[in-house]
Structure 1
Amino acid sequence: MVALDMSVVNVALPDMDAGLGFDDSGLLWVVNAYALAFGGLLMLGGRLADIIGGRRTLLYGLVLFGAASLAGGLVRSPGALITARAVQGVGAAALAPVAFALITLTFPPGPARSRALGLWGMASAAGGALGVLAGGLLTDWAGWRAVMLVNVPIVLFALAGAVRWVPRTRRGDGPPPGFDLVGALLVTAGMSALVLGLVRTESAGWNSTATVGTLAAAALLLAAFVAVELRVPQPLLRIGLLAHRPVLAANLCTLLLFSGQFAAFYFTSLYLQRVLAYGPVPTGLAFLPFSAGIVVGSLAATRLVGRFGPRPLLVAGGLLGAAGFGWFGLAVDVHAGFSDSILGPSLTASVGIGLCVVPLGTAGTTGVGAAEAGMASGVLNSSRQIGGSLGLAVLATVAAQAAGGDGPAALTHGYATAYGVAGGLLLAAALVAWLLLPGSPRAADRGR
């Protein structure tokens, strides 16, 4: 649900504009408000699970997400819809890290955890791809309000399951964990400024005063956050956590992997609609091979990660994903069809990405104690969100400069160039995994 809501509204934006009367800049904030709140609060959401318990954080996040979805489906003004999307992002910032942390706390290392992480990763990765299809179908059949209201029954089902099956966590006999208020304020402000600066580059440009000032403020706030975390006794993020090579490698690979994936996903949608003239529903259906490939890759990874460890899977997945995006760059053409330019590259890239999801979760929690599971999850999810925002911002600029115009041939050339850069990012992720991760499952278990 959290991943789906990153993309489900994209296809519905024209109908939202017609129904509520957005101005040119306001419509973009239907997407950005969610991304900004989600990215800015992920670290805080992960640590909250360590402090008040995973079950309570999960329930609070579900209620907030469901209430915002219901309100968003009933709004009558552009500002109210943007506000509802921002509150959805706040709920998502609690749900994404706590779902991951609950898996690592419930299942001991081994095949059971690998299977659970495989299902989690498969749902998370496929949710983004299915969001385009769901958005197209819901908008076509029931109007744009349905893309908000569809979350309500999902939330009610998840609440019932959480109350029934998620155990209450018990704190040990030690003192209650403290709350790093200064660190929380700094990282929330810094992450929000970073995501804001990145998402605004598409409209304001990289050289604008607003962009440079926002990114500079983000750098200063995050530097101050690191300085505070090195001094407080119970930090929001223990900086030493990133000294574990598997944890560091997992976060770097996540940053690079999702920089390429998010951007390539975005350009595929634009290519289908702007160049090949697909409608909303056909565009969504064209992403089904991508979703299927992620499922296949994730299922394969759940069976293989316990035997071979994260390193071989991340290297193989990164190389396969890079090959798929490189294929995209060579195949897209003004006169190409679905089977020529989409089917083969989608399956190749998505299987590679699916192979990476499970070992990223495994490596990202190696050497992490139960008391810091939410912290590690928050960092990993933050790397994913920052990677997606950064990749989209950078590659959108690359595509625009390479295109040099608005005609179908120019757009296609720009998209092809961006695909090539996305493939390079996945190659870099494979190289990071090869250099930083231990080569065997036993060595991975010792990687601290």
Structure 2
Amino acid sequence: MKVHFIAIGGSAMHNLAIALHQKGYEVSGSDDVIFEPSSSRLAKYGLLPAQEGWNIGNIKPDLDAVILGMHARIDNPELLKAQEMGLRIYSYPEYIYEQSKEKLRVVIGGSHGKTTITSMILHVLNYHHKDFDYLVGAQLAGFETMVKVTESAPIIIIEGDEYLASPIDRRPKFHLYRANIAVISGIAWDHINVFPTFGEYISQFDKFIYTIFPNGKLIYCESDENLKQIVLNTKANIEKIPYLIPPNKIVDGETILLPNTPLEIFGNHNLLNLNAARLVCSELGISEEEFRDAIASFTGASKRLELLNSVNDTNIYKDFAHSPSKLKASVDAVKAQFKDRKLVACIELHTFSSLNSKFLDQYKNTMDKADVRIIYIDEKTFRHKKMEPLTKDDIVEAFNDPDLVFFDDSNALETYLRNLDFRGTNLLLMSSGNFDGMDLIKLAYELNS
């Protein structure tokens, strides 16, 4: 099989390219810019394009498939050439389905928790040496790639994103996988550049339910009222399996899954994620005892309440939280886990939704449980995204918090953090960006030193 990737440098795209190369396919690709770690990983497998940019010479009549990344534009010269030649063009979710049509497909959807639930399932299956394929949105310890597709594996575990499949396919990715077993973790408005109203956004999950194969199973969070109503009202021919937070207790900063399984993770959102993963694993033949044995060693997905350093009575965490629901869940989790410590919480507003004045009031009171609440916006972000800048007053009003501390310069933010007293205090750094390149690891090891 000969496959060409247009925009091979994307996170999912380069991982799929590597997976197909490992499967024995002849893989080529192109992109106008490829960042780390994609470039090094592609180079390791001999897949890094010789030069950046688009070249219609890459599009040849003997290609079995062209896979189009979301980063490419609809006027991309390679895409236009492939269309002119009548070649089969796939988005990467379409191609994942093509590779897994004969497998049992588990698809994890929802506005939050997708990566963690998927990671938990992979950890448990891997712990018990099961044969499975997967697609997950983060690099996981013990897994070389974020995508694996083989001939032999009978099942595939797929993290199902609700964002668009490709520039020429405006369907959400998770609509294309045709789940046999599906999870919806919850619904909280996001991606307002594509779904400008909550009604439009929530309808994508209703449509997702109807993509589940007849007599399939839907595992869903019963405490999410919007989700619960959609599930109760659907006429899809599926089995509905609800879940809630499992019984637990916190002892000396450690969460115990009752009756007696200590966990490396914490927070109600992670306990909900765990219960979803448990139900999926049960459907895949993993017993309750086997699940508990495995989940006890799960340390979390990358950048999800990731512990950077712990010194005496100070923990410093990095977290991917960026949307209002994720922000609140992470702040609440750290505060609940360490009731006797203060919490300094800092979020970088970085996404299109978070920087949009029409969406900003969704953040109202989301950081209230933190003792010091910091908002950072890289001033260059507005220029890059061609958006009207937000002022400190805009943010204070939206968060409903006159005591917010605001920075638009990373050096000033770092200086401020270094001058705080972190004795008996945790620090939570949240962003889907990178705080303008701030070295968080170095910062974490030098605070309180």
Q: Same fold (TM over 0.5)?
A: no
Q: Highest Rg: 1 or 2?
A: 2
TM-score, scaled relative to structure 1: 0.25
- Greater percentage in helix: 1
TM-score, scaled relative to structure 2: 0.25
Tell me which of the two structures has the higher relative contact order, counting C-alpha pairs closer than 8 angstroms and 6 or more residues apart. Answer: 1
- Greater percentage in strand: 2
